[in-house]
Amino acid sequence: MTRTVGEGWEVSVPGSTSNLGPGFDVLGMAVDRRLTARLRLESIAADGPEPEVDVTRSGTLAHLDLAPEHDYLSAPLLAHLAPGERWSLGVDSAIPFGRGMGSSAAARVAGEVLAELVGRGEVDLDAVLARAAAGEGHADNVAPSVRGGLVAVAAGSEGEPVVRLPVSASIAWGYVAPGRAVDTHASRGALPDAWDRPVVVRSLARLARLIPALADPGVDGDHLRGLLEDELHVPHRLPLVPGGDAARDAGRAAGAWAVTISGAGSGLLVLAAHDRIDAVLARMTTAFEEAGAGPVTAFPFSVETTGVRWSGLAP
């Protein structure tokens, strides 16, 4: 493929929250915090040395310093670059890093989309989703970043692997996280190897009722609180979140309909009425701080209905 110095692409990917209580490894939802990556061809050397990708990071990724072969975003590009090419890759992210809002999934999706654009000049979103999910190990935080909205994933099943689900506009969403991240491997390692049958049956029953409840315009907050309760992962992961119990209890006392872990943590996902969400987040922030778990990240957010998007950069 003939390339021109100065050409490139911009890719924007939403973060995600996953699990949503009993939707463990099944439900995921895109959030209106995005990662943006800009890739541009800076020069082509006649002597044909190994291709280079110069990466700069800002926002929540500013502290990262990864070799290209270990970088979720630049690694997929390497196989598609020609000898002598030097590319610049600027990455800016507003997604909290390492706190259960899909920062690594968004980076993987961006990297796979850029690889498609560099390698073929077009994008197969199904292929992007499959490769990013394989790399991430979980499709429930990759699929929302690709497709947008609230989704259910059915990896390994026949038929459509991702199903878009409706979400009621009556629900206000919030996120609050302590100053310390929870290691994803430790969070996954805290889970039991197996669950008792009654636990699984109760979880399936909650999930079956939760999906239509999230779509109900006349949402019943008390009903949602019970449906967002979880026995599969939250009891095992919440103790890993510094101040997590205190923050959850403070949120409920302030009027939250439900508080659960976002992804694998350490962030917490909050559902409330629109006129209560700010007060709930403020109380939860105070609870984390009083537990010595600051500095705290907290904000309301909206469901992002648009998944990954991209556009060309003019030379």
pLDDT in tens, 85-130: 999 999 999 999 889 999 999 999 999 999 999 999 999 999 999 9
Report which of 14, 5, 54, 27 is spatially closest to residue 211, judged by C-alpha positions: 27
The per-residue pLDDT for 204 is 95
- Does residue 295 have a cis bond before it (omega within 30 degrees)? yes
Supply the mean pLDDT for the chain.
92
Split at pLDDT 50, 70, 90, the class of 181 is confident
Domain boundaries, the chain: 8-165+303-313, 172-301
Report which of 228, 135, 229, 233 is spatially closest to residue 189, judged by C-alpha positions: 233
Q: What torsion do the CA atoms of 143, 148, 150, 151 make, to the nearest 10 degrees?
A: -30
Split at pLDDT 50, 70, 90, the class of 169 is very high
Tell me how far apart the alpha carbons of residues 149 and 308 are, in angstroms, rounded to a whole number: 11
Asked if the domains at 8-165+303-313 and 172-301 fall in one CATH topology, the answer is: no
Split at pLDDT 50, 70, 90, the class of 156 is low
pLDDT tops 90 at residue 268: yes
Out of 3.40.630.30, 3.40.50.720, 3.30.70.890, 1.10.150.20, the CATH code matching 172-301 is: 3.30.70.890
Split at pLDDT 50, 70, 90, the class of 2 is confident
The per-residue pLDDT for 175 is 98
The per-residue pLDDT for 60 is 86
Split at pLDDT 50, 70, 90, the class of 1 is low
Rounded to an integer, the average pLDDT of 234-251 is 95
What burial class does residue 285 get, using C-beta atoms within 10 Å of its C-beta: 0-12 exposed, 13-18 middle, 19+ buried? Answer: buried
Tell me how far apart the alpha carbons of residues 300 and 17 are, in angstroms, rounded to a whole number: 13
The per-residue pLDDT for 68 is 63
Q: Going by C-beta distance under 8 Å and a sequence separation of 6 or more, which residues neighbour residue 231? A: 22, 195, 199, 202, 203
The per-residue pLDDT for 67 is 62
pLDDT tops 60 at residue 157: no
Rounded to an integer, the average pLDDT of 230-243 is 93
Split at pLDDT 50, 70, 90, the class of 161 is confident
| CATH number for the segment(s) 8-165+303-313 | 3.30.230.10
- Alpha-carbon 226 to chain mean position: 24
The per-residue pLDDT for 50 is 85
pLDDT tens per residue across span 251-266: 999 999 999 999 988 9
pLDDT tops 60 at residue 69: no
In this predicted structure, which of 17-31, 125-139, 250-264 has the lowest mean pLDDT?
125-139
What burial class does residue 32 get, using C-beta atoms within 10 Å of its C-beta: 0-12 exposed, 13-18 middle, 19+ buried? Answer: middle
pLDDT tops 80 at residue 155: no
* C-alpha radius of gyration, the chain, whole number: 20
Cα angle, residue 129 at apex, residues 72 and 177 outer, rounded to 5°: 60
The per-residue pLDDT for 64 is 76
> Which pTM does this prediction carry?
0.92
